[in-house]
């Protein structure tokens, strides 16, 4: 498992990757109105009013401190060129969208957890991801993250931040957000801070995760995010 200092090094690598983005400095962020989560329709049919948190699996960097340690729900923050949530997903054909301001109201503490990439075997395209954890103050997840992860300033960080009355998300990486509280979907929909979309166009298996499964596991030997590969090589030689 990575130490907190190791995660800080990973955060620095993610910041460097974003700074080298092909986007001009004035166009590196987009307004983000919703966090959204795709699952098969059956998932939402059976989960009822409350979307329950689950134990973080081994996706991403296998050494991430949050793997198998804290519970949460994964959401994506990125938008397309029109400023809308991405139209396709590899995770399922139904989507819940929740106003990001509502999520930040419930879980205002923000931490950096992971930086990794996955390679599409069909077109060789590499996609980089940053994982952010949101916690409720003084919750068990919050206490764990304070011990093991670097804290992000919600008003000033290069991945997802508040400015004036807007939330901005990086275009350089996919920003996935691990929300560590159960969410009352029915109540949120009634208050018009959440809504469903169905059907959503689905993609292949790229990015599809499972508990300890092969999909969603970090690519190796990436010059940007596999920053500890040289240490692995030294250990293997010994």
DSSP states of 25-79: GGGSEEE--EEEEEE-HHHHHHHTTEE--EE--S-B-TT-TTTTT-EEEEEE--B
- E-strand spans in the chain? 29-31, 34-39, 50-51, 54-55, 71-76, 88-89, 94-99, 109-119, 126-135, 151-152, 160-163, 166-170, 174-179, 183-184, 194-197, 201-202
**pLDDT at 217 (0 to 100):** 66
Q: How many CB atoms lie within 10 A of CB 103?
A: 24
Contact predicate 95/196, CB 8 Å: yes
Instruction: Read off the pLDDT of residues 105-126 as tens digits, 9 standing for 90 and up.
Output: 999 999 999 999 987 766 678 8
Q: What is the pLDDT of residue 216?
A: 60
Predicted confidence band at 27 (pLDDT cuts at 50, 70, 90)?
confident
Task: Check residue 204 and give its pLDDT.
Answer: 67
Residue 194's DSSP bridge partners are: 98
User: Does the predicted model carry a pTM greater than 0.75?
Assistant: yes
- pLDDT, averaged across the chain: 89
Domain total for the chain? 1
What CA–CA distance (Å, rounded) separates 17 from 11? 10
79 phi and psi, to 5 degrees? -125, 165
List the domain range (segments joined by +) for residue 155: 4-237
């Amino acid at each position: 498992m990575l130490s907190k200092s190791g995660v800080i090094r990973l955060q620095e690598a993610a910041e460097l990757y974003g700074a080298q983005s092909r986007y001009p400095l004035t166009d590196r962020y987009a307004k983000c109105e919703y966090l959204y989560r795709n699952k098969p329709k059956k998932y939402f049919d059976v989960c009822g009013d409350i979307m329950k948190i689950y134990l973080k699996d081994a996706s991403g960097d296998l050494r991430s401190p949050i793997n198998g340690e804290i519970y949460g729900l994964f959401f994506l923050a990125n938008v397309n060129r029109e400023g809308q949530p991405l139209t396709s997903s590899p995770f399922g054909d139904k989507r819940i969208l929740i106003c990001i301001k509502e999520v930040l109201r419930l879980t205002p503490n923000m931490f950096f957890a992971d930086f990794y990439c996955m390679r599409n075997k069909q077109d060789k395209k590499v996609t980089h991801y940053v994982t952010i954890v949101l916690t409720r103050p003084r919750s068990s997840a919050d206490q764990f993250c304070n011990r093991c992860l670097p804290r992000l300033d919600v008003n000033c960080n290069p991945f997802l931040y508040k400015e004036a009355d807007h939330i901005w998300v990086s275009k350089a990486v996919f920003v996935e957000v691990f929300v560590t509280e159960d969410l009352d979907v029915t109540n949120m929909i009634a208050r018009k801070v959440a809504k469903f979309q169905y059907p959503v166009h689905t993609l292949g298996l790229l990015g599809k995760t499972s508990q300890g499964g092969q999909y969603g596991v970090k690519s190796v030997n990436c010059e940007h995010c596999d920053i500890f590969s040289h240490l692995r090589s030294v250990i293997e030689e010994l």
